Chain A
């Protein structure tokens, strides 16, 4: 069977287009099937949603030619402060870990970037790339794997064939479901309240993370001017009450937790709330099939690791496919896809375990746990080598990195 393209990518969000662009650089053609229309994707006012991009993620975006479109809107993260807080105590609690970009040579630990700018830049880039075909406003109704190809049927009736089918269609991935791959889910019994605020004093590129009894509160610096993005996790019942408040009531609830180190705060943009859970596909590859991003692992958004993990998927899958393509291998062969899965397996396992453990450890008001983690923070704070390791980890610079995450071609 002749193929319409090398790769069929289901999902037009962030990871799907990023994969299509990265693969185009090594000569692989993709079709991106996107459930949303171009108009919906393009119509993005400021809504407060933003990403904490690890330095490695920024390098990938630069390597695929997207960074230059968004660089002016990105805020470098120059300092990260992690504090164990209690409601009402705000950020002034004495035990804190401070990570400073000046301690590593690589530059800022990451960048804050609003969702709308990144989305628009990726959309523009795939429209301009001759090896990528964008099919907006199309949904997949069926998929089938045959010995020589992966085949999808669209709601419009069209059938597309490729060597490989990639599910980049989020944590409720239809591609994953149609492939009969089970998902494991952990409910954190937390809801994230997300919004952007304006404040009187400058943030100086500092990302703050307070670990509260019910979950973390992150204050992430946004450009331009004095704006920050808030990710505030609470127990679901409390979060529901806070979400139901009007804007003034919401700010009144936020102020004592936020503290006054940035002066007076005001809401900027809409408020969102998301139940927090971690879902992982039992396997991320199959015959002519790979799952990436939230379709592979939908992660608790502490420290923005969800999207950063998605770009790790993009980088490793691209490199594995690039190497296979350069030697003429069948990019959909199980043997090829297993290389990607085994490269990612350690990260995936430590992610599931690590995020869960960190969150459980910090989201607890037990006096003994508090003492233990305060001592732990003090220890990290007093050991520069260990601190640098955490900084590099936060910047996504540890482990066996694929080329794109080092800013090099795949």
Chain B
């Protein structure tokens, strides 16, 4: 299921296909993602609750919201959003992720529409969502501008996009490439291409050109002393996240 406007870099997809088992083992290959996930979810759920005026202390606060999780992998973000009551489409360009995610959602008693499809193909089909989750994807695509424009088209007017990526500087090279890939071996060597990392100002520019209004930016900061992630107002030096809305 690909289209002529596909901007997914085939080499990048192949790399993730090789990693596509063991998604849900918190101590396995995807341990770094599991470690980071609570912090990503804190940001996503709080932004979504604020944008759509929902109470997170309700049983199903996101009831009625349609959510797209781009690059859903094993469903680490799709499942929480579905559990919170959202109607979720999980899209992944790597076909092997889809059955893994489907089996796990079924075990968890969750209905999630997992599809082997690209963002561009969904946009071309005219699908629209209240929330588009675009987490750690933009640094893997070949044409970020046309990809973000597709994300814009996937949002209903008033819809919210959460987009996270990695900054491009000496510290991000040290942390994300040398630290995570070479020293800690959290990620296979070659997972990330430092040249494709995007500075916050560049990302804001790309988002604005795609027609979206940036509303928030925060850092995701890893603290090696207590081995945990947290959200930072100021430190955008390595991992960072943005929220933007499609004007109504």
Nearest A residue (CB) for B61: A27
The answer to whether B59 and A27 touch across the interface, beta carbons within 8 angstroms, is: yes
Name the B residues within 8 Å of A334 (CB-CB): 26
Name the A residues within 8 Å of B108 (CB-CB): 148, 330
Q: Which of A294-326 contact B (CB under 8 A)?
A: 322, 325-326
Contact partner of B80 (CB less than 8 A), chosen from A3, A322, A327, is: A327
Taken residue by residue from 73 to 102, chain B's Cβ proximity to chain A (1 for < 8 Å, 0 otherwise) reads as 000000111111000000000000000000
A322–B42 Cα distance when bound, in Å, is 12
A322–B55 Cα distance when bound, in Å, is 13
Contact A328/B109 with A25-B57, A27-B57, A335-B34 known, Cβ cut-off 8 Å = no
The answer to whether A149 and B109 touch across the interface, beta carbons within 8 angstroms, is: yes
Interface assignment of A29: CB less than 8 Å from any CB of chain B: yes
The answer to whether B83 and A26 touch across the interface, beta carbons within 8 angstroms, is: no
Name the B residues within 8 Å of A25 (CB-CB): 57
Contact partner of A26 (CB less than 8 A), chosen from B38, B57, B82, B107, is: B57
The answer to whether B107 and A335 touch across the interface, beta carbons within 8 angstroms, is: no
Name the A residues within 8 Å of B38 (CB-CB): 327, 329
A160–B84 Cα distance when bound, in Å, is 21
The answer to whether B57 and A328 touch across the interface, beta carbons within 8 angstroms, is: no
The answer to whether A131 and B59 touch across the interface, beta carbons within 8 angstroms, is: yes
A3–B59 Cα distance when bound, in Å, is 13
Name the A residues within 8 Å of B58 (CB-CB): 27
Taken residue by residue from 1 to 27, chain A's Cβ proximity to chain B (1 for < 8 Å, 0 otherwise) reads as 111000000000000000000000111
Name the A residues within 8 Å of B82 (CB-CB): 328
Taken residue by residue from 132 to 147, chain A's Cβ proximity to chain B (1 for < 8 Å, 0 otherwise) reads as 0000000000000011
Interface assignment of A28: CB less than 8 Å from any CB of chain B: yes
Name the A residues within 8 Å of B215 (CB-CB): none
A237–B59 Cα distance when bound, in Å, is 54
Interface assignment of B45: CB less than 8 Å from any CB of chain A: yes
A130–B80 Cα distance when bound, in Å, is 24
Name the A residues within 8 Å of B59 (CB-CB): 27-29, 131
Interface assignment of B184: CB less than 8 Å from any CB of chain A: no
Name the B residues within 8 Å of A26 (CB-CB): 57
Least CB distance from A150 to B in Å reads 12
The answer to whether A326 and B45 touch across the interface, beta carbons within 8 angstroms, is: yes
Least CB distance from B83 to A in Å reads 5
The answer to whether A326 and B107 touch across the interface, beta carbons within 8 angstroms, is: no
Name the A residues within 8 Å of B41 (CB-CB): 327-329
Q: Which of A92-148 contact B (CB under 8 A)?
A: 131, 146-148
Interface assignment of B178: CB less than 8 Å from any CB of chain A: no
Q: Which of B21-45 contact A (CB under 8 A)?
A: 26, 34, 38, 41-42, 44-45
Q: Which of A315-363 contact B (CB under 8 A)?
A: 322, 325-330, 333-335
Name the B residues within 8 Å of A149 (CB-CB): 109
Nearest A residue (CB) for B41: A327
A149–B107 Cα distance when bound, in Å, is 8
Least CB distance from B9 to A in Å reads 30
A147–B79 Cα distance when bound, in Å, is 14
Contact A328/B107 with A322-B57, A335-B34 known, Cβ cut-off 8 Å = no
Contact partner of B107 (CB less than 8 A), chosen from A27, A147, A327, A409, is: A147
Interface assignment of B56: CB less than 8 Å from any CB of chain A: yes
Nearest B residue (CB) for A336: B38
Name the B residues within 8 Å of A328 (CB-CB): 41, 45, 79-84
A386–B57 Cα distance when bound, in Å, is 40
Taken residue by residue from 146 to 180, chain A's Cβ proximity to chain B (1 for < 8 Å, 0 otherwise) reads as 11110000000000000000000000000000000
Name the B residues within 8 Å of A325 (CB-CB): 56
Nearest B residue (CB) for A324: B38
Nearest B residue (CB) for A335: B26
Nearest B residue (CB) for A147: B107
Name the B residues within 8 Å of A29 (CB-CB): 59
List 5 A-B residue pairs with CB atoms under 8 Å apart, sorted by A's residue number. A148-B106, A148-B109, A149-B109, A329-B83, A330-B79
Write the residues of chain B forming the contact surface with A, with a CB cutoff of 8 angstroms: 26, 34, 38, 41-42, 44-45, 55-59, 61, 79-84, 106-109
Write the residues of chain A forming the contact surface with B, with a CB cutoff of 8 angstroms: 1-3, 25-29, 131, 146-149, 322, 325-330, 333-335, 409
Which 8 interchain pairs have the tightest Cβ spacing?
A: A328-B80, A148-B107, A327-B41, A326-B56, A328-B84, A147-B107, A27-B59, A148-B108
Q: A27-B56, A148-B109, A330-B108 are in contact. List 8 more A-B contacts (CB 8 A).
A: A1-B107, A2-B109, A149-B109, A326-B45, A328-B84, A329-B38, A329-B80, A335-B26
